[in-house]
Structure formats: structure tokens, C-alpha cells
Chain A
């Protein structure tokens, strides 16, 4: 009985291993071994180049410190907001929550543009400031390292927010109740009970934010160039432009190394097992903390924050979509709806919406499914070798998307299996890009489910699949849906991978937005992005209605 059990679990592991091999390892290997090639022979020339020029050093250091600061800011703001929105009686918290998640659906270069429009040297806020103060220049500068950290934080804090909010929701309140009954005050309960319990989620979210910032290209490309501030991803892009393929892959390998080091660090921090298992047999819904006199002051702070990071950039994007041309005076005469009409009449625009919805939904579903299997084997079943799977599945997160796209062409564009030119190659690339998200979020979800439940089922004779179906999945649902949305939203607007892999008829939203933007049709691009935002809001409302508020944001 036990042997057959074991066989099945290893069968599952082999299937998942094959998936990772095909989607992640084989394509990335195609790129990696080329970093050791020079005119067909083995050489370390590219790596020597990286260490010979201080500019590449500096790019590496810049990448590391920018990502560290971003991750720290994301962890603080994400955790605080998650706590306020989930565990307190803050007024209007449902709407606040939706608004907080929304800006993540903006393509990152679009987010950067929205912020340039607001805070740039001639942005709306700058112009307002000139009028009020009479100064000629603004005391801030968005084209700087600080500007990059700011926009990255606004873009990625959501990763911490969603994972922590999920953890807080699933938390068993009885521990807090016990502490309260023993006379501990709120501050002490937070510090000694709640915070340690959600720490894995904070760290998991922080890691996602760190590596996300590390691998982001759009924001440092738009904000860093004028300040001549370079990070690894922008240097990789230049290496591709030169074109120096070996240098690009050597730089990419360094990016992966930094990410792997940070992952190992997080794994080591989380070693102490059992401390974090929170959902056990009888779960009580956590109580709401009453803010009392702090209720409205805290509400105002949160509302101002939400207003700044969500409503303002979205408003700025919609405004761009309505303007005749960018920089036009904000008079009624220069507002128009023609850009919306244009995009809806455009075949490519409509096709891109269908394609992206399909790709994002399938990628989110498959990665969440595979993610929960990997996490189950690693966190729950603790199978030998499962940790390696977990590790391998997280690598692509640190690989710049351009490099992943090239890897997919190298791996899947030649016979006998040629997916090139179809939607499937984009799908495979998305699976590689988003698998790490799914693995990290499901990991922290499963860590909170106590082993006792599954063990009870096992002792009663339930086999692996019934156990997964009847015990693990129902308990992991909310976390899985949060993870699903974390994949769906960025996949819907993905650009860097799709731009290299799309073909006629397989355009994605990101591609169309970028090509419009690049040709100077910034207003039309903004109109398409606004339509996507509208679709997401409608979709989210539908999900919430259908599930009675259990899923969605």
C-alpha cells in the first residue's frame, strides 16, 4: 500500500519534471551554452568582457541596490496595506483593495510613461507646482535612480500585498484569541503572533518584488537613460543591439546568479518548518481589529496613497487617450473620442484582445496547476529532489524576457517540433515566464496548511489524488486564485516576449500598444490600454459576483 503510494507521487514528480525540462531548462540551456561560444569554439571571452569594463560592474551593482531598496519598500507598504485592508474595520476597504491591484495591469513602460506625464520636468504636477510656487524647475527629478525605485515600488508592492493579504485571510484566529485571552495587548499580538505567522508570505512577496525589479526592463529603460543610470537589463538590451550575443547571454547569466542567491537566502530564512502552519482542522475567521479613533485618519492616509498610485496614473492614461496629441493644453477643445473609435475599428486591435485573453487565461491556469503540484511535493510531501524542481521552476523569473523569447526561438523553431509562428510558442514562453509566480505564491499558501489534515486522510486510506482533490485543493483555493490573478494580469499586457514571438494573426495587446506607441500614436495606445483596464474591472466584478466575494479583488 505504501509502495504504490510512493510510486504514484514519483510519477507525478516525473511528469512535472518533464514539463519544467521542456518549458524552462531546454530553452534556457540553448541560450546559456552560447555564452561560452566564440565563433563556434569554447571561450570565456564574453565573461572576461563583463569584468573588464567598469560600466558592466556598475550596472550589476545598480541592479542589486535598486532591487533591494524596491523590495524593502514593497514589503513595508504591501504588508501595512494588506493588514489595513484585511484585518481592520477600515471604511470602504473592498473598493480600496480593487483600486490597489488595478495599476498592476498597466504595462510597465506605460506605468513609467504615466508617471513621466505626472512628475516629469513638464508633467501635470510639475506645471501645477510652477504655477503655485513661481519656480522654474521642480525640486524632484523622475529621470533618476530615485525615480526608478519609486515607479518600481508602485509597480511591484502589489506582489507583497496580494500574498500577505491571502495569508492574513487564511490565518487561524484562535492563536490571536488565545493571546488576547491571556492579556496580551494588540501591539504585542501583532508583533509576536500575527507578524511571525505571515512572515513567509511577506518574504515570498518580497522575493517576487526583488526579482521583478531586477528583471524589469521598461521602467529603467525609460527613466534611467537621461540620467545615464544603467542596470543589467538595459545593458543586456544594448549588448543585443550592438549585437554581441555572447555578452548579452553572459550578462543574463549574472542576473540569474543574483536571483538564485536571493532565492537561496529566502529558502534559508524559511527553514524552520511547522512554525508557519496556520490552517489546521477547525478554522475560525480572524476577528477584525477595531481602529477606533484611528479609523478615519488611517482611512485618509490609505485613500491618499491609493489616489496617488492608482487613480492618478490611470486617470493620466485615460486623459492621454482623450487628448488630440500629447502635451496638448488641457482645454475642452483638445479632447476627443476618436482614438477609442480607431482602436475598435482596427482588426489587429480586436484580434489582440482575443489572443491576449486566451494566452493569459491558459497560462495562468496551467502555471497555477503546475505550481500547486510543485509546492505540494516540496512543502507537503517533501519528496527527495522536489526542492530542485522548485528551484528550477523559479529561474526564469530572473531571466530578462527578451532572452527568454530568444531561447524559445532557439529551442522551438526548428523541426521536428516547430511551434514558431503560432500562438503556442508564445504560450510556452508565458508558461516559462509566469511559472515562478505560481510556484512562489502556492508555496506560501501550502506552507500555511497543517500536515495533520492530510495525514488524517492518509491514515484513513485515501490515496494521493483523492487527498489532493479533497483536502489540499479546497484549502488552497483562495491562495490559488490570488496566484492565478497575479499571473493573469501581467500576462494580459505582456510585451517583451510577445514582440519577438508574435506573427501575423497572433498579435497580443502588448505588441499592439507598443507598436502604436512607437509610431507616435501614443493616444491610440493609451486608448487600447484603457479598454483593457475596463475589461479587467468588469471581469473582476463578475468573478466577485459569481463567487459571492470569495474570489477576485
Chain B
């Protein structure tokens, strides 16, 4: 009978667990003035930013749900089936999904007073969404595997590295999807067919590409600038190359969901993201700002110094499924 005593005392202990965390028992036991943010922005960044906002506006509580683009997409799809999206705010790196949601009438139009400081090509003219940060798809090099002078200077040369080159999978990551769509709209599928023939590796996402590069599994990788900048800061022997044709600058838009129960607090959050103070906070976290009057992080070129490829958003949104399927067939099967 000793066993059952152990079991019962154990059960008694876990029965008290919910009292340590009162918020988890019911969704209702929460302050009225809260906004729920769905995001694929890295957890630390999203949390730190939410805290900075709440310091400004102590009357509002920001609650963050963070997952990969695909998970957020699946969650949104399931929620739309059962009574609508629960989030108040959406901040992803998958720009085309906003066009899709706008078409389905899921977004609320809001032109922030701060929006005039943001270049017109980084926001929706009707105010359904506005870029909140920029992340750049670049070529990263491990200098210990390939000398910097032998590294590719352009996207065109990238596939020549064959098995020594890695890229993220657009079926996992929103920013990779935008990149693939940009390449395909510009030059068709030829680049990918060549990459496949030469054996370019497709890895999960940008973090894995960066990690495997730092771990010397690859010589070069197509990945995001801020991840590489973070690794360089920690001492990894990596370098960033801005490709000759232009980097792909993926805007990470912020939007308000139409069904929000708290439009004023949601608007306040959007205003803060786009404000000078908000953008300067992001810069401190190595993020490229969207405002022309905020300087980029140290050692990073400003938006005007880099060449960018134009991104075909609406085309990408309309053809999202076709592009992903075709990529799967060429690169993965």
C-alpha cells in the first residue's frame, strides 16, 4: 500500500499546480485591455519588444503566441473554420499571406499616423498592413571553408557550389517562400533546376542553414542577415555577401485582425512598432529598421546602400500553392 500513498501524495501536489499559475485555468481570467499577437518574429525579440511597449502603455497587456510560419498558418486556417481568428495582431515574415487574408476580408484597415515615415513600397496603400521590420536574404560564407575571395558574388553563381551550398525550405519558412517567388517571377524555374542538378542542399529553415554553415557542413548558405550577424557577434568565422543582383529584403508586416475586440489597443501597438522609438529599439536587437530616419545597426548597410530585388507580392500570394508545389517537385523529390 506504500505505492498508493506515494501516488496520492503526488496527485495532491499536482492538484495544486494551477494555483501557481492562475492565468492558465481559464482564458477569461485576464485583464480587459489585452491584445493577442501571433508572430513568427524570434521569441526573445518579440518578448523584449512587447515589454518595451507595455512600459510605454502600462494599461495594455500584450500576449504573444510565437511559432514558425507554417504553424501560425495552420492555426489561422483552423481558427477560421471555427468562428474566426482569435488574434488581434499578426506579425509574420510571410508577406504573401497578408494579401491572402486581405482578400478574404480578415484584416482591418488602419493607416497609422507614423506610416508617412515609411517608404510607400513597404506598406499597403489602404493600410491593411505595414512592414514592421526588414530581414534580408543574403549569401553567407564560412571563411574557414572557403576563402572570402572565392565566395560567390551573385545569386547566379550560388548553385555552382553544389553540395557545399545550402538554402532553407520555403515549405517551412515564410522568408524563403518570398525569396523563391522573387526568383521565379524574375527568371523562371531555371535557377532551381540548375541548383537541383548540382546538388544544392535544402535544409529546414534559415536557422538550420546558418547553424550548419557555422558547423562547417557547408561553405555558403542562403540565409537571413540578422542570424548571421548574431553568429558573427558570438565569434563564428562567417561573412555576409550582398549579392550583385540584389538582396531580397523581406518585409515583416504587422496587421490588425478585423475581428479584434480591442481595436484601440491594437492600433496603439501598431503605432509603437512604426514609431521612431519602436524602430530604434529594434535596431538595438540587430534588426534593420523600416523608417528612413532611423540608422541601421552598426556594421550593417542602410537600406539606401543595398541593392534589392523587387518582390512580386500579389503574384506570390495568388500563386502560393502552385509555387510551393513546384518547388517541392523540383528541389525535394
Contact = CB atoms under 8 A, between A and B. Distances in A.
Given A328-B235, A348-B47, 15 more contacts: A120-B217, A238-B332, A241-B73, A354-B21, A358-B18, A413-B83, A422-B25, A423-B24, A503-B65, A506-B23, A516-B43, A519-B44, A520-B207, A547-B2, A548-B2
B324 A242 contact: yes
A348 B65 CA distance: 12
Nearest to B1: A474
Interface stretch (A84-92, A183-191, A222-230): A222-230
B124 interface: no
B109 interface: no
B14 A240 contact: no
The 9 closest A-B pairs by CB, nearest first: A504-B63, A519-B42, A505-B23, A327-B215, A421-B27, A358-B17, A325-B234, A409-B78, A241-B171
Contacts of A240: 70, 73-74
A511 B27 CA distance: 19
B42 A518 contact: yes
A220 to B, nearest CB: 12
A522 to B, nearest CB: 6
A328 B75 CA distance: 37
Interface string B56-80: 0000000111111011011101110
A258 interface: no
Contacts, number: 182
Contacts of A518: 42-43, 68, 205, 207
Nearest to B13: A361
A420 B36 CA distance: 13
A477 interface: yes
Interface of A: 55, 120-122, 221-222, 225-226, 228, 230, 237-238, 240-245, 324-328, 334, 348, 351, 354-355, 357-358, 361-362, 365, 402, 406, 409-410, 413-415, 418, 420-423, 477, 481, 499-500, 502-506, 511-512, 515-522, 543, 546-548, 550-551
A324 B235 contact: yes
Contacts of A550: 2-3
Contacts of B36: 503-504
Nearest to A505: B23
B169 interface: yes
A2 B228 CA distance: 74
B236 interface: yes
Contacts of B325: 242
B217 A324 contact: no
B333 A409 contact: no
B211 A522 contact: yes
21 contacts: A121-B217, A226-B202, A230-B333, A237-B70, A240-B70, A240-B73, A241-B70, A242-B321, A242-B324, A243-B74, A328-B235, A409-B75, A413-B83, A414-B83, A420-B86, A421-B86, A477-B3, A503-B65, A504-B64, A517-B207, A547-B3
Interface of B: 2-3, 6, 10-11, 14, 17-18, 20-21, 23-27, 36, 42-45, 47, 63-68, 70-71, 73-75, 77-79, 81-83, 86, 169, 171-172, 201-205, 207-208, 210-211, 214-217, 227, 230-231, 234-236, 320-321, 324-325, 328-329, 332-333
A218 to B, nearest CB: 11
Interface centre among B43, B47, B172, B203 (most CB of A within 10 A): B43
Given A238-B328, A500-B75, A519 B207 contact: yes
A327 B207 contact: no
A528 B320 CA distance: 37
Contact of A520 (B20, B26, B210, B328): B210
B21 A355 contact: yes
Given A327-B215, A357-B14, A422-B27, A410 B43 contact: no
B21 A230 contact: no
A58 B36 CA distance: 41
Contact of B236 (A327, A361, A548): A327
Nearest to A550: B3
A122 B18 contact: no
Contacts of B324: 238, 241-242
B2 to A, nearest CB: 6
